[in-house]
Amino acid sequence: MSEKEKINDPAAFFRQYYGEMEDGWSKLWEQLLSSPVYAQAMGALMDAYLSSQQAVQTNLKKYMENLNIPTKDDLARVAYQVVQAEQKISELQKEIKGMKSLEAKLDLVLAEVKEAKEFQKQYRQQGEQKGLVDLEKKLEEIQALIVAKTGAKSQSRSSSKGDGRGSAKSQGQSADKKQKAKTETRQTVLV
Amino acid sequence: MNFNYGPFNYAGFSQEEAQRMAARYKRLTKLALHDPEPRVGQTPKDVIWTRNKTKLYHFHNGHVTRSTPLMMVYALINRPYILDICQGNSMVEYLIKEGFDVYMVDWGTPGIEDKGLKFDDFVLDYLPEAFSVVQERSGSAKVSLLGYCMGGTLNSLFAALHPELPIANLVFLASPIDFTDAGLFANWLNPETFNVDKMVDVMGNIPAELIDFGNKMLKPVSNFVSSYVHLWDKLHDEVFVENWRVLNHWVNDGTPFPGESFRQWIKEFYQKSALVKKELFLRGRQVDLGRITCPVLNLAGDKDHIVLPNQSSELAKHIGSKDYEFVTVPSGHVSLVVGKMAKEITWPKISEFLSKRD
């Protein structure tokens, strides 16, 4: 800023003046603000202001009540209830969200259980079929063994008698017994 | 050129001087009469959670490279957009570019129905819910917390009362913890002269203008005069004028202090220093800062007259963290988070601290 500007521009004049005074003012204010006197004065001023406000508020409240007009406190109460209701809605939303996610999880679990059951059923069916086939084979083996044993015995008996005089009746009875035994064995195995 | 009109005598001015002066008056007129309100908090974001007046913002970031999200918590007074004041001068913007997933709690503007809200509510109800929303949204169990001014104090209470939560890191910016030496405030808020009970009972919420006046009275000459004198000096500098406008907008855009919270703030913190004495109880639960064990970064401005540096630095004596770093920045309260020093020191320091522990 040139010397001429400082002299001729009114703003520049104040700027120059302020520049020279700034430090002094700052120190002065600092001293004042840090003194207990300032704190007491501000406290007293605030106290007086609050007392007057309190009186105004009390009178205004009575006046409003007489006129059946809601006061600031009434409005605050309603607004507070709105806030509380909003909060409850928010909590409910959260719970519903939680339930929905729980429901989704339950659906997943149910699907898994269903799948497992299906698998178990298929496995059992396959197992049963395989088991039956095995049993059939074993049964046939047993039959073959029985037949082989009983056939060998009857041959040795008839050969020990040698004359072939064994009655046809007894031979027939023996064959019936064999057949019965075979049937019973088969039934037992099947059961 | 020869100008001799009225009280002004520009006869001896050079053309350049006359043009500069004319430009200055023109800019001043435009500033006072025509300029629209500055646009602040412009980083794109979504509101992902609300409770009463409180909102939780999630800033858009298409290239998150850090695994731990960062939740910013601001004070109960003024607006949190100081951390995202304008493009090119925004902490949020910087951290997003650094790959952080950034969230911010905005306490909103309390109404008369909120005069009963206490620190208990913010620390035990609001913050835990916001924290879990950040966990859910980000998919990360761990969350880092950053608190500016009273936001840091709130974070310290939250962390101390929720040691079970996976707080990854705590970043404090000009946060008052120890109130035994609170400078001029200690003198003004003396219980013998300052009747906080009467104030809250009569006023309900404490008006923003009163809070603003109290803060400005800490440096009355600087705040009420020097600020405008500097503006006058630099009216020709468009960048300076823009920055001045956004900051001035923020300073005058305060929010009321919820009445019961104000009562606690003055009585428990300023008058009793209850936090560092372990005498602070929220819903019957004792606040013990020793329960804070996560890594802590603490930054303070050496010229801060609102939160004195010693009010912040004392944090180290009370927390249980072994991983602790304290950084003093050559700045004031606001210039710690916006402006030249913030860009050169504060923001890179935060990014570096969090990145190392990511």
Q: Which residues are bridge partners to B57 per DSSP?
A: B47, B104
Please, what is the angle between helix B238-251 and helix B15-33, to 10°? 30
Distance, CA of A162 to CA of A158 (rounded, Å) = 6
CB distance B329 to B336 below 8 Å = yes
What Rg, from alpha-carbon coordinates, does chain B have? 22
pLDDT level of residue A166 (50, 70, 90 thresholds) = very low
Closest approach of A123 to chain B, Cα-based (Å): 41
Nearest to B188 among A10, A26, A42 (CB): A42
Distance, CA of B170 to CA of B156 (rounded, Å) = 8
Angle at B154 between CA B148 and CA B157, to 5 degrees: 135
CA torsion sign for B145, B151, B156, B158 is negative
Residue B220 structure tokens: 């009355």
Decide if pLDDT at B32 tops 60.
yes
Residue B72 structure tokens: 């910013």
Residues of B in contact with A50 (CB under 8 A): 195, 198-199, 202-203
- Enzyme catalytic residues of B: 149, 304, 333
**Torsion, Cα of B24, B26, B29, B35 (10° steps):** -100
Residues of A in contact with B201 (CB under 8 A): 54
Nearest to A80 among B9, B113, B220 (CB): B113
Asked if the Cβ–Cβ distance from A29 to B222 is below 8 Å, we say: no
Closest approach of A118 to chain B, Cα-based (Å): 36
- For residue B282, how many C-alpha atoms fall within 13 Å in the half-sphere facing its CB? 25
Please name the residues in contact with B173: beta carbons below 8 A apart, sequence gap of 6 or more.
Answer: B146, B147, B148, B149, B152, B299, B336, B337, B346
Q: If you ran DSSP here, which 8-state letter would residue B206 be given?
A: B
Residues of B in contact with A59 (CB under 8 A): none
Burial class (CB in 10 A: 0-12, 13-18, 19+), B137: middle
Distance, CA of B298 to CA of B147 (rounded, Å) = 10
ipTM score above 0.85: no
pLDDT tens column, B80-123 = 999 999 989 999 999 999 999 999 999 999 999 999 999 999 99
pLDDT level of residue B356 (50, 70, 90 thresholds) = very high
Winning range, highest mean pLDDT, from A128-132, A179-183, B187-191: B187-191
Residue A48 structure tokens: 């007086």
Please, what is the angle between helix B127-138 and helix B150-161, to 10°? 80
Distance, CA of B246 to CA of B263 (rounded, Å) = 31
CA torsion sign for A91, A95, A101, A104 is negative
CA torsion sign for B214, B219, B225, B227 is negative
| pLDDT given for residue A1 in this prediction | 47
Decide if pLDDT at A68 tops 70.
yes
Closest approach of B97 to chain A, Cα-based (Å): 33
pLDDT tens column, B104-116 = 999 999 999 999 9
Please state, rounded to an integer, the average pLDDT across all residues of chain B. 92
| pLDDT given for residue A157 in this prediction | 61
- Domain B45-356, CATH: 3.40.50.1820
